[in-house]
Structure formats: C-alpha cells, structure tokens
Chains A and B, each alone.
Chain A
Amino acid sequence: MEDKTMPVSAAGEPEWVSAKRRDALASFSSAPYPVMRYGLNITTDLGELGLENLKAQRQKPPKVENMNKDIIIADLFTALKEYPDIVEKHLFRSMGFADCRCPNCITNVIANHKLASFHQAAWSRGLLVYVPRGVTAGEPVYADLHTEGSSIDHTIIVAEPRSSLSFLENLSGEGKYRSGVVEVFAGDGSRVNFGSMQNYGRGLVNFSLKKAIIGRDANVEWVTCDIGSGITKSDVSSVLNGPGARTMNRGIFLGSEGQHFDFHINAIHSSPHTESYLLTKGALNDNAKAIYRGLVKIAREAKGANGYQKADTMILGGRAEADPVPYLEIDNNEVKCGHATTVGQIDPDKLFYLMSRGLTEIEAKRRILEGFFEPLVRLLQVEHTQNEARRLMHGGIIRGLGKEMEASV
C-alpha cells in the first residue's frame, strides 16, 4: 500500500495497455478542466482538483460475491493475464465512437475529456465480469468497491448473446477523488441489470461514467442510488445499437449540506424499434444542488422507436436548488417520445391526508418521501443493499426535515 503520484501503470501489464495510458495522458495534459455552469447559477467547479499531483493509494482489489462457476469474475489485472483477448476486445471500446454514430456522444466525451482521459491513463483497479453465450448468471453479482484516499476503478461487463446478469456495485469510503467507469456490452438478446449504491464521504469528488452498448433485442436496466460524496458528476448512457434494444434507467439521489450532483442521462436510439425509459427521482435538503440533463436521441434510421423520460425533484430546504432539463432530439417522424420534469415541495393534499390519520407533520413528510423513493429502492437487487439505502435515506430525510422544522419555528 504505497502512495504513488498518478498516473500509474501496473508492473507487468501488456504493452498495448501502457500505450493506451500514454495516449490518454497526452490528451489529459492538453485538455482543460471542465467548467460546469448551468442556468440557475449552479456551478460544479472541478478546477481545483489538481489531478496531476493526486496521490493515489493502491486499493484493495474489489470484493466480489458470486459462486457461479459458469461466469468469469476477475480482477482486471489478473484478467489481462488470464483472459487477454476478452479484455483487449472490450477495454475502453464503449468510450470510442465505433459503436455510436451519435454526435451527442462526441459532445459528451469532450465535456468529460479531461476526467475521462485521466481515468484511461491512470486506472488502477478493475473488474471483469464475463457471462458466456446463453448463460444465466442467477444470483446477483455483488461487488464491494471501497475507496480510501483516491481510486480509479474500471469495470467491464460483457454479456454474450442470450445471457443474463444482475450486477450490483457498492461504492463507499472516504477520500479526495474517485473515478469510476463502467462499460457494459450487452450482446444480442441478453439482459443486464446494473445496480449502483453510492455513499461516499462528503469530502470526495466522484466522477462516474457508465455506458452500455445494447445489441439486438437486448435489455439493460440501470438503477443508481447516489446519497454520498461532495460533488458527483455522473453520466449514464445507453446506446440502443440493435433493433428491438431496450433500456430502463432509474436514478435516485438524496442530497444535503452543500452536496452538488450533476447527472447526465442519455439514451441513444441508433436502431429501429428501440425503447428507452428514463426516470430520476431526487430530494434536496439544506443548500444541496442538483443538475439533471436527460437526453433521448433518436437517429434517422431508428424508426418506430419509443422514448420517455421523467425527472422529479423534491425541494425540502429553502436554499436547495434543482435544475432539470430534458432534451429530445428526434431525426425521424415515426417515433413516440415524451418527457416530464417536476420540481416541487411535498404535495399539501398528501400531507393533509396522512396528518388526518394522526401522523405528525414530520412523520407524514417522512412517509411521503420514503414512499417516493421506495419503488426504486426495491429495484436494487440485493436485500441488504436495499435496507442500507433505506437506512441512509431515512437518516438523511429525518435530519433534513428536522432542520427545516427548526428553521420554521
């Protein structure tokens, strides 16, 4: 466990990996830090991160629970030795343009260029999950990715045609910076269920890129839950790359005390009869701030596509702010598309209803908020993670409501 200045390269890794690191380092050095400013004066300032001098502690390899012998689960450095073909075929492939012809992805990559390049140069921990053709993985694969100090984690998930996998990452720890990239390759007719539970310490900057390339008739479902970190910049993209591909993307966030969240949720329909459904629910206490940018992009060739997105944010504290903007970019006329965003407070009629049954105002609000999140919390695949999410949300909601009550007295 020695401290090293990033970027690092691991001893004994293949030359093609080191070459990728060198290329990425050059892009990193020449790119500016992203400046993220949005409509309501919401700023996520990453300029002071100083990644050049970041001290990274070598992290413990991911702890993974799953007993299924038919699938491959390997630390990425080990996988480079034991399954070099699989890794070489997939590492960073989703981040290029080969699978996605959509200009928006280029925009995304440019906005994320500095941080993504840094990630590619300096990744120091990783995981490969490979599900062979036709195999059903069964019980969810649970990966514990704990961070101390700083970590740069790369996850590759490959679901070969007609396979199925449920995967849940648990992200925890204290520190300065965490970069996490997840690449999902969902082959034709496969199903991937990806869950993420994030509860970093409040001092940590969390950069997260998740991208799925989804083949013909394949289905990728995302459930992400963000509660921790000081700043989270998170992009989740689904490229619907084969006819009949589907994605459901559900996100939860709960923020308080100076937390900033910046979410970009993208569904790129590049094939006919593809479907996307993006649903985000959040609540903000104190002076927490959240930006949501959702994009449903339907290419000219994607006839008969269906896209829907909805983002609902509850404002619990007087100084909290949310700025949700859904985008639709549609290049053909044979599609169904819709969007809705709401930013508001707890519905007074719901509050009255519960109070008329004897609940105090604070209990009633808590129930309404917990109920608001519950249908999504239930989707986290592992019961103890659901309970952990409920416990954290319960605590966060009570603290937030408590402060509001004090402030209003």
Chain B
Amino acid sequence: MSQQNPDLIIENLHVNVEGQEILKGINLQANIGEINAIMGPNGSGKSTLAYTIMGHPKYEVAQGRIVFRGEDITKEKPTQRARLGLFLSFQYPTEIPGVTVSNFLRTALNALRPQPVPVPEFLKLLKEKMALLKIDQSFASRYLNEGFSGGEKKRTEILQMAVLQPRMAILDETDSGLDIDSLKIVANGVNELMGPHMGALVITHYQRLLNYIKPDRVHIMMDGRIAMSGGDELVQKLESHGYEWVQKGAGLKV
C-alpha cells in the first residue's frame, strides 16, 4: 500500500469563503484503512476543510486540488464524491422535514449501490446498525433530524455512515455536544466499522474522542495550514501543553 499513491491527496489547497481566504495551502494525505486525526483551535479551518473535501458550493477552491482514489474531484459535485466513497458526518446536521430516516437511507443506499437493495435486506441492515449505535427503532420512522437532540443527531450521522459504508468518512466535531455515554457508544460504533475498507478523518478540538478512537496519524491545523503532523503522542502533548505550544513551535515540523 505504501508503494501506491495515497487514497486521498490534498495538494496546496486554498479555499475562500465569501471572499475571505480560510484555507491557505493545505497539504494532506490519507489512506483508506487509516485513521487520521485533524486537531486545531476554533477558527483554524478544520470544518472548512471538511466541507471543501465534500464539495459544499459555498467553499470556493482558489488554488490546489483534491484527489480521491485516483480521481481529481476538486470540481465534482457532492453526489459524485459520495459515490466514490466519501462521507461527511456533519457537525450541525440539517433537519429535513417530511423525509423519514428509513426512507432517506434507503434512497441514499440505492444511489450508492449499482443495484437497488431489496427492502427486507435494507430493513435488516438498518435494524442491525441501529442496535449497534443503541438508537431506538422508532427513529427509523421519524423525520430526519427534526426535533432530534444534539446527541441524537450525532448518533444518526454515524448510523448513516454505518449503513452507507463509505471508504473514507470525515467526522466533523462528532464529539461536540455528546455526553460521555453517548461518546462511548459513538466511538464504539466507529471502531466497529473501521477496517481495511474504511478510513476516517477525525476532526476535533479536544483529545477526548481520541481516547476512544486511536488515530494512526495526527495533524494540527493553525490558521488555515497544517502546522504539525505526527503520531498518537501529539495528542497527549497537546493535552498538557495546549495549542500555544504549537504556535510557538510553528515551523518545527515533526
């Protein structure tokens, strides 16, 4: 695997949002089967990176490119990115009134699969994944995210990931707003799903989630750039020294 090109390549990525430059030359590589953590203080551009990888039209790529599984997806629509195996677990999932969780997930799964999935098979899959994430079965017939608590929304995001089985999932601040029990359930779910066919970019402000989901690589973002990359030990170092330490040591690439 190390001999081949990485599955996700982000090269010199500059991104503007409403005319303001937020990402200022991101370089990042990640493979399916690996967990990469992206840490950084508020405003460092972590969520912008997540949205840009997934192709939100508001995030304008001014320079650079994104390649996933050999395809340059910089200009692709989100639909095409999802079909290649990318997935974004939203920090603030949108409510879709009138569309049930079950109905939506079946539509999405059929959009991703070459053949429609038979209904009984889908229902079995959904039930199994709901059990894994300890989501009450009644959620299947509720409108997507409507009236869900913060924690329920996050769990439903991971449920979608579990059912759709992407190759690379971007988890954008999945830990925010979760109590410790929910955090454990979500982390356990993610760990169950990870394997040689699925990788993750775990975006988080705190080390808390990374106590449960062990990253292979850790990248620290500051002011729209990757300031530092390293192994698991960076998490502990950040915990004891804080982000100021990265600032002071900027340029000190590990």
Residues of chain A whose beta carbon lies under 8 Å from any beta carbon of chain B? 347-350, 352-361, 363, 367-368, 370-375
- What residues of A have a CB within 8 angstroms of the CB of B57 in the complex? 348, 352
- Whether A358 lies near B111 (C-beta < 8 A) is yes
Shortest beta-carbon contacts, A-B, top 6: A371-B98, A374-B98, A358-B82, A358-B111, A355-B78, A371-B99
Q: Identify the stretch in B89-97, B126-134, B230-238 within 8 Å (CB) of chain A at 4 or more residues.
A: B89-97
Query: Nearest-CB distance from B135 to chain A (Å)?
Result: 17
B69 at the interface (CB under 8 A from A): no
- Whether B58 lies near A348 (C-beta < 8 A) is yes
CA distance A173 to B23 in the complex (A): 59
Please, what's the 1-or-0 string for B98-126, where 1 marks a CB less than 8 Å from any CB in chain A? 11000010011001100000000000000
11 A-B interface contacts by CB (under 8 A): A348-B57, A350-B94, A352-B57, A354-B104, A354-B108, A355-B78, A355-B82, A356-B88, A357-B87, A360-B79, A368-B96
- Whether B111 lies near A359 (C-beta < 8 A) is yes
Pick the contact of B93: A353, A355, A367, A372 (CB < 8 A). Answer: A353
* Contacts known (A348-B57, A367-B107); A358 close to B112, Cβ less than 8 A: yes
* Contacts known (A352-B56, A353-B90); A358 close to B108, Cβ less than 8 A: yes
Query: Nearest-CB distance from B241 to chain A (Å)?
Result: 35
B160 at the interface (CB under 8 A from A): yes
* Contacts known (A358-B83, A363-B107); A349 close to B94, Cβ less than 8 A: yes
CA distance A359 to B160 in the complex (A): 14
CA distance A371 to B241 in the complex (A): 48
Interface residues on B, range: 20 to 34
Interface Cβ pair total, 8 Å cutoff: 76
* Contacts known (A352-B56, A353-B90, A356-B54); A361 close to B98, Cβ less than 8 A: no
- What residues of B have a CB within 8 angstroms of the CB of A358 in the complex? 79, 82-83, 108, 111-112, 164
Query: Nearest-CB distance from B56 to chain A (Å)?
Result: 5
CA distance A354 to B81 in the complex (A): 12
- What residues of A have a CB within 8 angstroms of the CB of B98 in the complex? 370-375
Select from chain A the residue with minimum beta-carbon distance to B104.
A367
B139 at the interface (CB under 8 A from A): no
- What residues of B have a CB within 8 angstroms of the CB of A374 in the complex? 97-99
- What residues of B have a CB within 8 angstroms of the CB of A356 in the complex? 54-55, 78, 81-82, 87-88
- What residues of A have a CB within 8 angstroms of the CB of B111 in the complex? 357-360, 363
B212 at the interface (CB under 8 A from A): no
- Whether B96 lies near A353 (C-beta < 8 A) is yes
* Contacts known (A358-B112, A372-B98); A352 close to B107, Cβ less than 8 A: no
CA distance A60 to B78 in the complex (A): 54
- Whether B79 lies near A371 (C-beta < 8 A) is no
- Whether B77 lies near A355 (C-beta < 8 A) is yes
- What residues of A have a CB within 8 angstroms of the CB of B206 in the complex? none
CA distance A361 to B104 in the complex (A): 14
Query: Nearest-CB distance from B86 to chain A (Å)?
Result: 8
CA distance A370 to B97 in the complex (A): 9
Query: Nearest-CB distance from A37 to chain B (Å)?
Result: 34
Select from chain A the residue with minimum beta-carbon distance to B88.
A356
- Whether B79 lies near A375 (C-beta < 8 A) is no
Query: Nearest-CB distance from B99 to chain A (Å)?
Result: 4
- What residues of B have a CB within 8 angstroms of the CB of A368 in the complex? 96, 99
Select from chain B the residue with minimum beta-carbon distance to A370.
B98
- What residues of B have a CB within 8 angstroms of the CB of A355 in the complex? 55, 77-79, 82
- What residues of A have a CB within 8 angstroms of the CB of B56 in the complex? 352
11 additional contacts (CB under 8 A) given A353-B94, A371-B97: A352-B56, A353-B93, A357-B82, A357-B87, A358-B82, A359-B79, A367-B96, A368-B96, A370-B98, A371-B96, A371-B99
